[in-house]
Amino acid sequence: MNSPTSQLLDGFLVQCQQRVNQSLHRQLEGDFTSVILRDAMAHACLDGGKRIRPVLVYGSVQAVGGDLDWADNAACAVELMHSYSLVHDDLPAMDDDDLRRGKPSLHKAFDEATAILAGDALQSLAFQLLAEPVAAINSDTQLKMVQILAAGAGFAGMAGGQSLDCEASGQQLDLTSLETLHRSKTGALIKASVQLGALCCPQLQDTEMIALQDYAEIIGLAFQVQDDILDVTGDTETLGKPQGSDKELDKATYVSLLGLEAARSKAAELSDVALESLSSFPASADPLRELAAYIVNRIN
């Protein structure tokens, strides 16, 4: 993590990353039907990534007074889901990216068939894990969590957004269409992460859930605006993926539609609104507060 962070956030990020990395390792131990598939799944989800979605899961359960232990499976599940989406997005038929998290993308390190299957199996594993009984969470709530993750990943969420993104290639979207695209493509899983984290705490209040959902929607957009900014201002080494790829693909971005400075203002503004949505939360929500700032200040 090279982006500027506070000591509090730094500590929280490291703690969350360690937790989710442990969970991911545990999921990929033991006997696998296909060793190649196991290695491909490991390549896709171990050793890398900022783990923003798991951090949001943990940040949310802590914000509402819950224990991080209760959220381990949910945190791991959202990261598995995110990892699968990156693998499929990188495929030649989609974004055709050779580099991911500073390493060859999965279809480059293995082959296309293995990348398709590893993505498929990562998605299944996310649901398998999320449906494992957790003592602190009642089964009705866990079922609801499965539904939330499925909706966030499926046609009304991530996959639907990626489909819009493919359709939009080479077209000049307006700002409304761009927001619709990102609300589903990246926003839906970010929102699901926050919702899942909150639901891991049995004492969750409806008002807390509403505030956290607002927070999630706003930082989801902020995250994407900053991504578009970094695609222009970052360098390939820091990003771990090719700089300038949006422009090369002639994709509409917040920068192409608003200009760089206005995009930066928008990101900062969204970060402020995200903070406001957490105004009624105690200090336990500080990691989420600082994350709102981090998301728009990160350099990779």
Q: What residue ranges bind a second copy (CB under 8 A)?
A: 32-34, 36-38, 41, 84, 88, 91, 93-94, 111-114, 116-117, 119-121, 123-125, 127-128, 130-133, 138-140, 142-144, 146-147, 149-151, 153-157, 159-164, 166-167, 180, 184
DSSP E strand boundaries for the chain:
99-100, 103-104
Q: Give the nearer residue to a second copy in terms of CB position, either 34 or 236.
A: 34
Residue 147 or 236: the one with the smaller Cβ distance to a second copy is: 147
* 99, β-bridge pairs: 104
Backbone angles phi, psi at 133, to 5 degrees: -55, 135
Cβ closer to a second copy: 139 or 205? Answer: 139
The amino acid occupying position 169 is: S
Q: Which lies closer to a second copy via its Cβ, residue 138 or residue 205? A: 138
The CB-of-262 to a second copy minimum distance in angstroms stands at 27
CB of 6 to a second copy, least distance (A): 36
Kindly state the DSSP code that residue 147 receives in the 8-state scheme.
H
Shortest distance (Å) from residue 183 CB to a second copy:
9
Nearer to a second copy, 133 or 237 (CB): 133
CB of 115 to a second copy, least distance (A): 8
Q: Nearest 5 degrees, angle CA 215-CA 221-CA 223? A: 95
| Residue 210, amino acid | I
C-alpha pair distances (Å), 168 with each of 174, 182, 251: 11, 12, 7
Q: Give every CB contact of residue 80 below 8 A, 6+ residues apart in sequence.
A: 24, 27, 45, 122, 123, 125, 126, 129
CB of 57 to a second copy, least distance (A): 18
Q: Quick one: 84 or 281, whose CB is closer to a second copy?
A: 84
234 contacts 300 by C-beta, under 8 angstroms: yes
